[in-house]
Amino acid sequence: MTTRRPMYACLLSLFIAACGGGDGAPSEPGTASAPQEAGEGTASTGKTHWTNDQPIGLGMGPVDSAMLERGLEDPTQWLLYGGNYSNFRHSPIERLTPEAVPNLQVAWSFPTGTDQQFEVSPVVYDGIMYISSSYNRLFALDAASGEALWRYDHPQPPDLLYCCGPVNRGVAISGDAVIMATLDARIIAFHRHTGEILWNTEIIDYHGGYAATGVPLVVGDLAIIGIAGGEYGIRGFFDAYSVATGERVWRHYTVPAAGEPGVETWSGTSYETGGAPTWNQGAYDPETNTLFWTTGNPGPDWNGDVRLGDNLYSDAVIAVDPATGERKWYFQFTPHDVWDYDGNTQIFLIDVIRNGREVKALVQPNRNGYFYILDRTDGSFISAVPYVQANWATIAEDGRPIVNEAAMPTEDPNELVCPSHLGGMNGAWTGALNPGLGLAFIPAVESCEYYQKGITAFVPGQMFLGGLYQLIDVQEGRAFGVLAAIDVATGETRWRYQDPVPLMGGTLSTEGGVVITGNQLGFALAFNAETGEEVWRHRLGGGIRSQPIAYEADGRTFVAIGSGNGRFLESTGAPDIVPEGGQLFVFELP
C-alpha cells in the first residue's frame, strides 16, 4: 500500500506567485515544459511578427525623460509599470469616482491567445496601447478602439527555465522604442509605430536557470532590468542597457563574489549559488538621482544550513547611482531567509510626516508580512508593522527580525508559519497609493503553511530548493485574500476588504477616490478609497492576475484590466473549472 503524506503536496504554487519569475515564487514552480503547445507561443501559421507600415498615432513624438518624470500627470498616458517613478499607480482622472464607476461599460476586448497568468500592466502613449502576454507576445493596439496595429510573438526555445509561470508583466517605452524582456533572458526593443526590432540583446544564457519576466525601468537613456532564477541557485543581478543601442552599460550583482564586501555573510562557498534574484521593477527618485531595486530569496530556499549568515544582499532593497550601478546603501528585510520571503514586492517613494518631521520615505509591503517604512536618503529603518498575520518573527527597533525559532523549517515540521511563501503581498502583482489620502492599497494573501527542509545538491539548471512547503491553509480552504488600505505614514491598516480566495491581481487608484483590482474568481472589483466600501464588481471570467490602468483616449475615459489565470490553481485556492486564456477588457465611462 502506498502511503502518501500531505507534507509533500506540491510546490506548484511556487510557480504561481513567487520567484519571479514570478519567481514569482519560489515564487511560481519550476522548469517549464515546452511552450509551443496549442494556443501558446506562436500562431498556428508559424508567423511570429506582424509589422505596420501605415501612419499611426497622434503625432506626439518620442517619449522623453521629462515625460517619464511627470508620470501620470497627463491622463492620456500611462508610461511606467508603476504609473510614475514612485510607483503610485494613481491615475489623475477625477471622473472615476465611487459614484461613477458602477456605470463602467465594456468598450472593447482583446485576446492574447496564450494561457497561464496574464499579468500585464498596459502602457498607453500617443493613442496606442502596448500589452504583452504570457510567453512574450507583444501587441500594439489602438487605445480607443482596440484595433490591432502590430504584433510580435517571441519564438521561445523548448527548454525554458522559469520558476513560476511563463509570465510577462509589460513593456517600457522611451524615445521611439518599446522594450520587452523575455523568458529566455533577452531584452528586445521595437519601434513603437512599426513594430520592427531595433535591437535584441541577450541578458544572460538562460540555461543557467535565468528568465526575465519583469518590466524594464527607463531612467535617462538607460533601461534597467532584473532577472528571475532564485529557485535555480543563480547569482542575481540587475542590468542597465542603452535604450539607443541595446548595449549593456553596467551590471550590479546582488550576491558578492569572493573577496567582496558581504561575502562573509555566506558560509563556505554558498555565495556561488546564492540566488537573490531581481525579478520585479524598482523605483527612481529624480530629486536625489537614486535608483532603488529589490532582491529576492537566497538559495536554496528552505534549507539555510548550507548558507549560514545573513546572506547579503538577498531580500533587500538596494539604492544605486543609475548612471553607474554603484551602490549607495542597502537595507535587508529578511536576513538569512528560510521561508522564501522575496523582498521584491512593490516599493513606493513618498514623503511622510513622522513625529512632526518630514521624512523622505521608501515604504514597502514586504512578502514577510510587515509594512516597512525606511528613510530613502540613507536606508535607515523607521518602522515595520504587520499588515497580515505574521508569526515568523517580530521586528526589533533597528529593523532586524527577532526570529521565532519554532518557525524555522525542520525535517518534520508541525508549526504553521505565517505568512506562507506566497506572502502577504507578492512581487507578482502591484499595489497603488493615493497620495492625497496617504493610503497604499495592497492586495495580499492571508495564509499559513508548513515549511520542511531537506538535504539538497546544486545541479546547474535544476531547482535548488532545499525543501518544500505545504500550503495547508490553501488546501483546507482557510486562505483568503485581503485588500488592505495602509496609512503610509504609520503602517497602520485603515480598512480591509476580505475576498474568498487569495488576491493576486494588481491595483489602480484614481484621483476620483476609487481603488480598482480583481480577484481570482474572475471579478473586476472597485472600492471607495476612503472607506473600503465595494462599489462595483463585474465578472470577466478568468481569474485576475493583471495590473489595471486608467487612461483617456479620443476624449473618452477608459479602465483596462486583463483576466486569465495560471495552471496551478489548486495552489492558490482559485476555482479550476474556468479555462485558461488571457483576455484584456477595456471599460469605458459613459
Partner 1 sequence: MISAVGGCAPTDPASQYQEDPEALRRGESVFAGTCSGYCHGMNIVVGDVPNLFDCSWIHGGSNQEIFATITNGVAGSRMVAFGGRLPEGDDDIWKIIAFLKNEASGC
- Residue 475 · residue 520 · CB < 8 Å: no
**SS3 state of residue 585:** strand
Would you state the torsion angle of the CA atoms of residues 62, 227, 148, 177, taken in this order, to the nearest 10 degrees? 20
- Least separation in angstroms between residue 478's CB and partner 1 is 18
Grid coordinates belonging to 118: 496574464
- One residue of 187, 382, 468, 474 binding partner 1 per CB under 8 A: 468
**SS3 state of residue 306:** helix
Give the whole-angstrom CA distance, residue 64 versus residue 490. Answer: 35
567 binds partner 1 (CB under 8 A): yes
Give the whole-angstrom CA distance, residue 415 versus residue 7. Answer: 12
5 binds partner 1 (CB under 8 A): yes
- Residue 320 · residue 328 · CB < 8 Å: yes
CB nearer partner 1, residue 102 or residue 460 = 460
- Least separation in angstroms between residue 455's CB and partner 1 is 4
CB nearer partner 1, residue 26 or residue 427 = 26
- One residue of 137, 252, 453, 538 binding partner 1 per CB under 8 A: 453
**SS3 state of residue 526:** strand
Place of cell 494556443: 39
Kindly indicate which of the ranges 94-102, 247-255, 310-318, 453-461 contains the residues binding partner 1, using the contact rule CB under 8 A.
453-461
- Residue 293 · residue 343 · CB < 8 Å: no
- One residue of 73, 378, 411, 554 binding partner 1 per CB under 8 A: 411
Kindly indicate which of the ranges 38-46, 322-330, 447-455, 548-556 contains the residues binding partner 1, using the contact rule CB under 8 A.
447-455
Interface with partner 1 in residues 221-260 (CB under 8 A): 231
Give the whole-angstrom CA distance, residue 194 versus residue 428. Answer: 30
Give the whole-angstrom CA distance, residue 395 versus residue 113. Answer: 45
- Least separation in angstroms between residue 454's CB and partner 1 is 3
Give the whole-angstrom CA distance, residue 152 versus residue 163. Answer: 24
Give the whole-angstrom CA distance, residue 382 versus residue 387. Answer: 16
Establish whether 221 is a catalytic residue. Answer: no
CB nearer partner 1, residue 15 or residue 313 = 15
Report in angstroms the alpha-carbon separations of 191 from 47, 48, 139, 244, 551. 19, 16, 12, 11, 22
- One residue of 38, 258, 402, 457 binding partner 1 per CB under 8 A: 457
- Least separation in angstroms between residue 409's CB and partner 1 is 10
- Least separation in angstroms between residue 476's CB and partner 1 is 14
CB nearer partner 1, residue 353 or residue 459 = 459
Residue type, 271: Y
- Least separation in angstroms between residue 518's CB and partner 1 is 23
- Least separation in angstroms between residue 136's CB and partner 1 is 21
9 binds partner 1 (CB under 8 A): yes
Select which of 126, 285, 337, 340 is catalytic.
340
Nearest to 135 by CA among 224, 47, 34, 215: 34
38 binds partner 1 (CB under 8 A): no
Nearest to 423 by CA among 352, 340, 544: 340
- One residue of 21, 22, 26, 195 binding partner 1 per CB under 8 A: 26
Give the whole-angstrom CA distance, residue 353 versus residue 347. Answer: 18
174 binds partner 1 (CB under 8 A): no
30 binds partner 1 (CB under 8 A): yes
- One residue of 455, 476, 477, 556 binding partner 1 per CB under 8 A: 455
Give the whole-angstrom CA distance, residue 113 versus residue 337. Answer: 38
Interface with partner 1 in residues 293-312 (CB under 8 A): 300-303
- Residue 507 · residue 516 · CB < 8 Å: yes
Residue 292 β-bridge partners? 283, 319
479 binds partner 1 (CB under 8 A): no
570 binds partner 1 (CB under 8 A): yes
461 binds partner 1 (CB under 8 A): yes
Nearest to 272 by CA among 283, 281, 259: 259
- One residue of 456, 510, 517, 572 binding partner 1 per CB under 8 A: 456
- Least separation in angstroms between residue 467's CB and partner 1 is 5
Using only C-alpha atoms, the chain has a radius of gyration, in whole angstroms, of 21
- One residue of 39, 61, 102, 454 binding partner 1 per CB under 8 A: 454
466 binds partner 1 (CB under 8 A): yes
Name the residues annotated as catalytic.
340
Interaction site with partner 1 (CB under 8 A): 1-12, 14-15, 26, 29-31, 33, 231, 300-303, 411, 452-459, 461-463, 465-468, 567-568, 570
